[in-house]
Amino acid sequence: MSANDPYTFLKTLIATDEAKAQSRASQVQPPLIVTVSRDFGSRGDEIARMLANQLTIPLYDRQILERAANRAHVDPARFEGLDSFQSSSVSSFIFSLLTGSGGDLQTYQRALFEAVLELAQRDCVLVGRGAHLILSGKRTFRVRIVGSRMVCAKRVSEEMGIPLEAAERKVYEINNKRHKSIENLFKDSYEHCSLNYAKNFDLIINTDRISAEGAVPIIMMAMQQAGFDLQRMAPKA
């Protein structure tokens, strides 16, 4: 079976008659927005890139941080650490020291919200930074990519050329920081903001047994079933 078979099936699944497609094209359509939250080592970044490529829409990852920094008139390099601080009080203190602006974590939160909302005015895939929460009130397809710690650690060990034990520790530490960061940033705005809260996502994929290539058509088929119009997509042959 060729690697392109899932996409051939997907094309058949979402095909509609030409007249209907032309009618839809003449109407103003809401932007096609997908958010991807991922565990470290789960192939989430790779899946997000492949999904954006198949949908032929832009992907934003670190660019979200850069836009937030620009809105707050802060060097993006100084903003980067705020994604992983585990204590909101420490975050506020360090933010003030780094920026010299007397600002606090709320400055970062506000800039992050504005950056995500601005990007979501057009078709795009948004990776991380709590975009699934910020856009929860909008028509957005929210995906979470997960994997068991050991499977993710084996991937990280192979990709980074580090011992398995060190890779497992790295997976745990990075995932823990991501969870703490989301909780600290959004706990005052959302009742349930944990990355483990399944209802915050439309689709959760465990990549222990599903490849990145296999995950992409699953996401696209789920989007189709959820009522998202994928006529604008142009899968590669």
- Domains by residue range for the chain, with CATH: 30-225 (3.40.50.300)
Residue 215 has pLDDT above 70, yes or no: yes
Handedness of CA 12, 140, 91, 75 (dihedral sign): positive
The answer to whether residue 120 scores a pLDDT higher than 60 is yes
Mean pLDDT in residue range 205-218: 95
Token pair 């047994």 is found at 209
Query: Is the sign of the CA dihedral 211, 213, 216, 221 positive or negative?
Result: negative
Question: What pLDDT score does 14 carry?
Answer: 62
CA nearest 131: which of 231, 84, 200, 220? 200
Contacts of 78 (CB under 8 A, 6+ apart): 69, 98, 99
Sign of the four-CA dihedral 117, 123, 126, 131? positive
- In the chain, alpha helices (H): 5-14, 18-25, 44-55, 62-71, 76-79, 88-99, 105-119, 131-134, 149-160, 164-186, 212-225
Please work out, in degrees rounded to the nearest 5, the angle formed at the alpha carbon of residue 204 by the alpha carbons of 203 and 205: 120
pLDDT number for residue 188: 79
pLDDT tens track for 123-152: 999 999 899 999 988 899 999 999 999 999
pLDDT at 186: 85
Neighbours of 74 (CB within 10 A): 21
pTM: 0.76
- The answer to whether 232 and 32 are in contact (CB under 8 A) is yes
149-178 per-position pLDDT tens digit: 999 999 999 999 999 999 999 999 999 988
What's the rounded mean pLDDT across residues 220-226?
A: 92
Task: Tell me the pLDDT tens digit for each residue of 29-78.
Answer: 789 999 999 999 999 999 999 999 999 999 999 888 888 877 776 655 55
Q: 100: pLDDT confidence band, cut at 50, 70 and 90? A: very low
The 10 Å Cβ neighbour count of residue 55 is 24
Is 140 within 8 Å of 33 (Cβ atoms)?
yes
66 touches 76 (CB < 8 A):
yes
| % of the chain at pLDDT higher than 70 | 71
